[in-house]
Chains A and B, each alone.
Chain A
Amino acid sequence: MFRIDFNKLRFLVCDDNPHMRRILRTLLHSFGAREVYESEDGATALEMYSHYVPDIVITDWSMPIFDGLELAQMIRQPELKGNPFAPIIMLTGHSEKRRVTVARDAGVTEFLAKPISAKGLYQRILNVVANPRPFIKTKTYFGPDRRRNSSNAYIGPERRVGGEVEVLQQPSLLDKARTPV
């Protein structure tokens, strides 16, 4: 059985709702975390990300001006300075299939739907600490491997091969996120 030494981890929490920040801070401190930095919008979170270099980012999706999706996209920039590999846990009231897919395609590592629970949060953190996934870089994506399972029964087009590949035309992530369903 494994336990996490939370006192060695540095967290960045981003949520515009002060009550949710308080709850997250309480949960993380109870787990044993000492270093929990907080921001109420994505722009400030990005600055704090560069400054404090957190081990794990926990972000809401809906925030004014610069939301959690854009924050994830800004962090997942392999060409820029800084760490593009930090685990990002998106904690959000959105739980529709399209939203989960868009978050995944923005490079989010784990998705946790509100209402929050201590168990749900702990499990997501344990997962990103104990089971990091390799990163995939394509023309349109940089982030954790979106394939969590390998299946021998898969019969669709193989989009990752060494030879000829099928190129999928995709709208930009921001366009996808903002397109009404």
Chain B
Amino acid sequence: MAKHNRGALEIKAFADHHVITQPNPLSSVLRRVGGKNLDDPVARAEKALAGLSGQFKNWMSIEADRLSAAHATILRLGFTDETCEELFRAAHDIKGDAATFGYPSAGAAADSLCRIIEHAPELERVPSNLIAHHISAIQAIVHERTRLDTVSMAGELSRELRGVADEYLTQANRDRPEHLEAILAPSIAPGN
């Protein structure tokens, strides 16, 4: 743990708020280096990440199978809070992980599925094929990736799914402007 520079807090009081400033508690871990320093922690980390890449296919298969299992549970038990949450969580994990694992199209399809789960007024009324097609597409992208011709096809498949999903969501939310705004809004997260 860093040796914290725990100087006195400086607190300025205003009518409705306080501004609290403290000496930088982590200043002791900052080190000035010369311009000729060749150490590159980011390159080192990227190399270490590449070293993990042999496991990515297996990890991606596990994530895709988890998604399929969540969908199978919904087909068996229906849409409950628990079954929907597990489907969303499985899709959301793929949305976040897939590009890192080398499957960006699977991530895009999972993102589209997350949007359906988040913004459909009633999941029971979503055409069952729409959800099933997303899951089948993710499985296909993951398991057929080694074929050279699938990379562009996977991207095309994800774009098609997203288009159909957005068309459905736009129509289903035509009387719910706050959802429409969220559906149509671009991502504003800082880039990586």
Contact = CB atoms under 8 A, between A and B. Distances in A.
Interface of A: 1-6, 8-10, 16-17, 19-20, 22-23, 26-27, 29-32, 35, 52-55, 62, 64, 85, 92-98, 100, 111-122, 128-130, 132, 134-139, 145, 159-165, 167, 180-181
A53 to B, nearest CB: 7
A20 B17 CA distance: 38
Contacts of A29: 48
Interface in B28-83: 28-35, 37, 39, 41-42, 44-49, 51-52, 59, 62-63
Contacts, number: 200
B18 A165 contact: no
B95 interface: yes
Contact of B45 (A27, A35, A134): A27
Interface residues of B, number: 68
B93 A93 contact: yes
Contacts of B26: 9, 55, 128-129, 132
8 contacts: A3-B31, A9-B2, A19-B97, A23-B52, A30-B49, A95-B187, A96-B185, A114-B95
A95 to B, nearest CB: 4
A5 B96 CA distance: 29
Contacts of B34: 1
A69 B37 CA distance: 38
